[in-house]
Structure 1
Amino acid sequence: MDQPHDSSKEASPGDIRDDATSIVRDSSDGRPDPSESETSFGAADDAASRLSHFSESDEYSNRDVKPLTDTQEEDKPREGLARSGSRLSVVDSARSLSRIITGREDINKYSNIKEVPSLGTDRQFPFTPDESEFLVEFDGEDDPFHPYNWNIGRKICVSIIVNFYSFCNSLGSALFSESNEGLMQEFEIGNVVATIATSLYVLGFALGPMIWAPMSELFGRRAVFLPASFGFMCFSYAVATAKDLQTVMLCRFFSGFCGGSAMVLSASTIGDIFSAKHRGRAMAPFGLTVCGGPLLGPIIGGFTAKNSSLGWRWNAYWSAFLGSALFVTIFLFLKETFHPVVLSRKADIIRKKTGNWAIHSKQETLSLTLSEIGVKYFARPLFMLFTEPILFLLAIYSGFTYGLIYLLLTAVPLVFSGNYKFSQGVGELPYIAIFIGVGCASIILFLFDIRYKRIISATRTQNAIPEERLPAMMIGGISFAIGLFWFCWTGDFPHKIHWMVPTVGSVFVGLGLLTIFQPAINYVVDTYAGFTASALASMTIVRSILGGVFPLFARQMFTHMHIKWAGTLLGCIALLLIPVPFIFYFYGAGIRSRSQFAAAHLKKD
């Protein structure tokens, strides 16, 4: 009769031999197979002898034993060696023994393999100690391998490259919008169909991050930047040389699909190389490129399309030329910044220097099937979007403001070219006023970043305080709503109000754009530090869908509702969204504590 196991007694090498023997003897029905008994007992004796040799070796016998954590203590009965009295099957018993020898919990994924493959050349399996002893991590806060500790020149170089990438893509979205007249004449299409070329590009921003963001969390940032920038370059050239409308539309979509990587990876890369204390100031250029590109694009595109020696195709060539320079720059100068992949590089260096091939990083132990990759990584942005209230509301707010940038591509020409009779190119110059507002917002964000640094220093910690990113967003929401009412109501009375009045109103729109967009990005990066790319992809999906859809109905809305009433509708929506940053400022910490993605970051802090 089996005796109950006394867990209070320490297992001796002899006990381990008996356990290994009993595991091999016990089958699912309790009867051993006589034909395999000699081989099975030999294997058990060999495993037990190696366990005994390891436990008695001088190298490990005097090593201090670390106490188990609460989690490990709960898992201890589950990980313990199964006794013969439990009547486990041979497979379950083998798994139990494997957990003790290897310390791995994911052995179940290989349950379809009936026998363990051999090493080859009749070699025995070597016994290895706990794999955590060979796990490579950063050596404290001052590890030179950590991207936070790179020299300032290297950080600036990386920041310039990724911000240039986001500028190229955001510029290309609005640059081509001024090619509508050329498309209508050459392919004999209407205005709405011509506008689809801009909408498809921005919708590519929505779908691209669903692929690029998870891939960057698997393979690193550089491994995604290279193919994405190459695709952006190639499809931009394809648009410029297209012979039919179908090619224009398809290549515009895939150009945006590839360029969408910049919308999530640029901010993620900056978050990789700057700590929370310095991240706000480092993120400011990214916000300028994302908001500034669509504002400068119509000005450049308008004068290009107006020039008879250039024409609408050159608006695509500008993007292609910038994409070519971008790809070469990334290939030559961009270094990997994603922390797990950087640790893999560090582990590789240590292996080559020491010759110890057991050294590894956590990233190198990932072994996922296609279905696991799809569920865990590619579906994560959508899952986070609909399960994280912080992410959902900020995505709606920032998406609405970003969508209005593309809606203004129609509103500004209607006001200044339609009402005030400005010519093409000149009618797009008031975008400069919006860009001036974005510049003023940068100054405001800089001042709030100084305030944030003081708060961080006062707490004597380097950990992020996400809610302190939001006061600037509160100001931005109010400014944005005021600017919309001001611009639309004054711009609808050209015979009574000078054109400078709506132009000044658009400054407040630009100020609100960046002071909403940038703090929202910073708040999300601080909150979801371990899932930055996926969280930003969630926001980019909403932002790009709205940015792609708004231009399709913009002309009809402003024409049939008139500019003042269409602006009133948009201004009222902006008023409804003003409380969002206030809610998260006062209740955000409690919401984050209940989040399955943000809570892990809180515990780590």
Structure 2
Amino acid sequence: MSGWGYALKLSKEEVKNAEPPGTVKLIDHELQRTPTGTNYNEDHIELVPHPSRSPADPLNWPKWRKLAVLFTVSLYALIANIASANIASALPLLTFQLLPPNSLTRLGHLVAYNVLFAGCSNIVWVPLANIFGRRPIMLLAQLILIFSSMGGGLATTFNGLLIARIFQGIGAGPEQTISPEIVGEVFFVHQRGRAMALYTVCLSAGSLVGGIIGGYIAGNLGYKYIFWITTALSVFIFLCQFFLVPETLFDRKSHLAHEERNNTYNDEKEGTERDERAINTKYQSTFGIAQQLSVGMYRGHIIRRFIAPWKTLALPGTWVVMLHYGGLVGAIVTLATIAPALLSAPPYLWGNNVGLINVAGLIGCIVGGIATHFTADLLVTRGAKKEVHGFSEPEARLPAMFPALVIAVAGIWCFGFSAANGSKPAWVGMAFGLGMVSFGLTQIPSIGFNYLIEAYYSVSSDCFVMTTIVRGVISFAWTFFVVEWVFTRGPREPFGIFGMLMAIFALLTIPLWIYGKRWRIATAKYLPKAGEGEH
């Protein structure tokens, strides 16, 4: 049963023993006896999801293949965010390099519209990926990123450059939704935290690396080389995607059902068993080079798949994660946009060095990645070992998010109040603030994305759509107005408000942690029935 009325009436013990979508048995407590007659539990990690016997099942791929996939989707996130952010630190130079001259406020639209379309394009990308597979959609998006980057290098007017930036955002869209979904499809539950940590480090570091190099490229070579370098990087990631990443959208439910039917023949005579082994041997040998490099599949239900993302708004976890991610990305994009504008003016006058403020962010990003690597999976396995049934709950990951949320909120205020100080040493506080927000941006989405994958596995890609739409809208709203707002009202007011909003978003984590399982019981009716082993 499910529904809010039913879930709210359950006792704590009934909730603890329930197995709604997202609750899986991760640890098998096997009772053992010592030679002296003492009983003890020996814990074994269960493989979740339960893999099929097909070599096309991503869970069965060799370790090198899984790492190659993780490397490629993480590199895509890095390069796509470099492409998005590298122009931000060059905006003060574009005021006179791009003719006729444009105001800094208008040039800020090159960042705002890019992040808006990067988020909102996923309302198309993800349904298409669920219909035709991950591989063709990723390749198509990367081709758009290549040609739009070339368009930016060829553009001679502001409007031409703006169109190129919009299509760059569209080409970068899947790195926010399909990439984390691929990570979830390739790795088991007890491995996803560390794998997602690498992805989110690259996701966060891209905007910071882009911010560091953009000013130097524009100052020494001209702003057009920003786009030509991005083109070369985009071609490289396209080749990696084509040769290293097979299709990861796999119908495990059908394969497991097929294997179960075959296993029933084992009760027959030995000859039948030989026939079954022959069938399975043939079945397992079909994942060759041609199949790995193939592009295209069709799963139907087009209209239903385009409607599906909006249905995930009925899931509380979607709201919490999308507000976290939207607020954090909005903050980091805003900081990366306004910092060069502040540091290029008196009393700082950093010139081409304005992008160096992002070094602090890069340090925060690396520290956040290390912290996530060592805590994300540890909390899940430790919680499952303590649980009498060996259950793993998605909510077990959330406590690792609390320190990062506090640090990120404090970082927004630290940046804004330091910038408002106006003295020459104030850049130190701005740098610390940027580093603190970057720490949060690395750790919080890593935990949040894993929560969505584990709590709502069958619709997690649709959850990512809503997450990135909100991310795009918040980032667009903040960056569209922030330059003029800062220069008319000072940094204290806008960043004080941004920090307050992020603090409100952060507080939503507490009820999700406490009542998340009860809410999953209540909303189970909104989820399609997952196949066996799909978690």
- Please state which band the TM-score falls in when normalised by the shorter chain: 0.7 to 0.9
Residue 164 of structure 1, aligned match among 66, 75, 96: 75
CA contact (8 A) 2:92 2:344 kept: no
From 368, 375, 393, the counterpart of 1:441 = 368
CA distance in 2, matches of 1:141, 1:464: 21
Deviation string 1:53-86 (CA, Å, 9 cap, x unpaired) is xxxxxxxxxxxxxxxxxxxxxxxxxxxxxxxxxx
Q: CA deviation at 1:448?
A: 1.7
Deviation at 1:590, TM superposition (A): 1.2
Q: Aligned to 2:183, what secondary structure does the other structure show?
A: helix
Report the CA distance shift for 1:498/1:550 in structure 2 as closer, same or farther (over 3 A): closer
Q: Pairwise mapping of residues 73-222 of structure 1 onto structure 2 (< 5 A)?
A: 143-181=54-92, 183-185=94-96, 186-188=98-100, 189-222=102-135
Partner residue, 1:121: none
Structure number with bigger Rg: 1
Distance of 2:343 and 2:511 partners within structure 1: 38
Contact 1:144-1:150 at 8 Å conserved across structures:
yes
**So what's the TM-score if we normalise by structure 1?**
0.69
Whole-angstrom CA distance in 2 between matches of 1:194 and 1:498: 25
Q: CA deviation at 1:412?
A: 1.8
- Find 2:382's aligned residue among 448, 454, 464: 454
Q: 1:483 to 1:404 in 2, by over 3 A?
A: same
Residues 485/195 of structure 1: CA separation in 2 closer, same or farther (3 Å cut): closer
Structure 2: runs of 5 or more not aligned: 1-48, 259-277, 284-295
| Cα separation, partners in 2 of 1:602 and 1:470, compared to 1, 3 Å | farther
Q: C-alpha distance in 2, partners of 1:388/1:493?
A: 42
Per the alignment, residue 373 of structure 1 pairs with 302
Residue 137 of structure 2 corresponds to residue 224 of structure 1 = yes
Q: How many angstroms does 1:441 deviate by?
A: 1.4
Partner of 2:493: 565
The alignment status of 1:409 with 2:336, answered yes or no, reads: yes
User: How far apart are the structure 2 equivalents of 1:149 and 1:602?
Assistant: 17
Alignment of 1:282 with 2:195, yes or no, is: yes
Work out whether 1:516 is the aligned partner of 2:425.
no
2:11 equivalent in structure 1? none
Report the equivalent of 2:152: 239
Residues 1:259 and 1:524: Cα distance change in structure 2 (over 3 Å) = same
Per-residue deviation, residues 298-348 of structure 1 (Å, max 9, x unmatched): 1100111111xx20111111211111111122122211111229979x99x
Q: 1:561 to 1:590 in 2, by over 3 A?
A: same
Determine helix, strand or coil for the equivalent of 1:187: coil
Which whole-Å CA distance do the structure 1 matches of 2:155 and 2:254 have between them? Answer: 44
The answer to whether residue 392 in structure 2 is matched with residue 481 in structure 1 is no
Supply the distance in 1 between the matched residues of 2:531 and 2:372 (Cα, whole angstroms).
25
Task: Supply the AA of the counterpart residue of 1:168.
Answer: I
Change (3 A) 1:353 1:438: closer
Q: What is residue 261 of structure 1 aligned with on the other side?
A: 174
- CA 1:390–1:451 in 2, change beyond 3 Å: closer, same or farther? closer
Q: Which residue of 2 aligns with 1:334?
A: 245
Q: Structure 1 pair 213/498, CA: closer, same or farther in 2 (3 Å)?
A: closer
Cα distance in 1 for partners of 2:94, 2:426 equals 33
**C-alpha contact 1:202 1:547 (8 A) present in aligned 2:** yes
CA contact (8 A) 2:397 2:451 kept: yes
1:543 maps to 2:471: yes
How far, CA to CA, are the matches of 1:244 and 1:350 in structure 2? 63
Check 1:350–1:305 CA distance in 2 against 1; reply closer, same or farther (3 A cut): farther
2:185 matched to 1:272? yes
State the distance in 1 between where 2:429 and 2:297 align: 62
Query: How many positions carry a matched residue from both structures?
Result: 451
What secondary structure does 2:463 align onto? helix
Distance 2:157 2:415 in 1: 38
Q: In 2 relative to 1, CA 209–289 (structure 1 residues): closer, same or farther, beyond 3 Å?
A: same
Matched, 1:554 2:465: no
The SS at the match of 1:475 is helix
2:236 is matched with 325
- RMSD over aligned Cα atoms: 3.1
State how far apart, in whole Å, the 1-side matches of 2:50 and 2:317 are: 33
Separation of aligned partners in 1, 2:521 and 2:209: 41
Task: State the one-letter code of the partner of 1:508.
Answer: M
Cα contact 2:214–2:355 (8 A) shared by 1: no
1:530 to 458, 466, 479: 458
AA matched with 1:160: F
Which residue of 558, 569, 577 maps to 2:505? 577
Of 327, 346, 361, the residue aligned with 1:400 is 327
Q: Which has the higher contact order (CA 8 A, sep 6+)?
A: 2
Q: Secondary structure at the match of 1:339?
A: coil
Conserved 8 A contact 1:482-1:508: yes
CA–CA distance in structure 2, aligned partners of residues 513 and 600 of structure 1: 32
TM-aligned CA deviation for residue 458 of structure 1: 4.4
Distance 1:323 1:142, change over 3 A: same
Q: Which runs of 4+ in 1 moved over 6 A?
A: 341-344, 349-352, 364-367, 460-463, 602-605
SS in structure 1 opposite 2:423? coil
Specify the SS of the correspondent of 2:349.
coil
Taking a change above 3 Å as real, the CA distance of residues 365 and 311 of structure 1, as seen in their structure-2 partners, is closer
8 Å contact 1:420–1:499 — kept in the other structure? no
Residue 230 of structure 2 aligns with an amino acid whose one-letter code is S
User: Does the 8 Å CA contact 1:490/1:502 hold for their aligned counterparts?
Assistant: yes
Shift of 1:511: 1.9
TM-score, with normalisation over the residues of structure 2?
0.77
Q: Secondary structure at the match of 1:336?
A: coil
Tell me the alpha carbon deviations over residues 388-444 of structure 1, each in whole angstroms, 9 at most, x when there is no partner. 232123212210111111110233224433354132332221211122112221222
Give the SS at the match of 2:222: coil
Distance 1:251 1:494 in 2: 36
Shift in alpha-carbon separation, 1:521–1:549, aligned structure 2, 3 A: same
- The one-character-per-residue Cα deviations of 1:95-126 (angstroms, maximum 9, x if unpaired) are xxxxxxxxxxxxxxxxxxxxxxxxxxxxxxxx
Q: State the Cα distance separating 1:365 from its structure 2 match.
A: 12
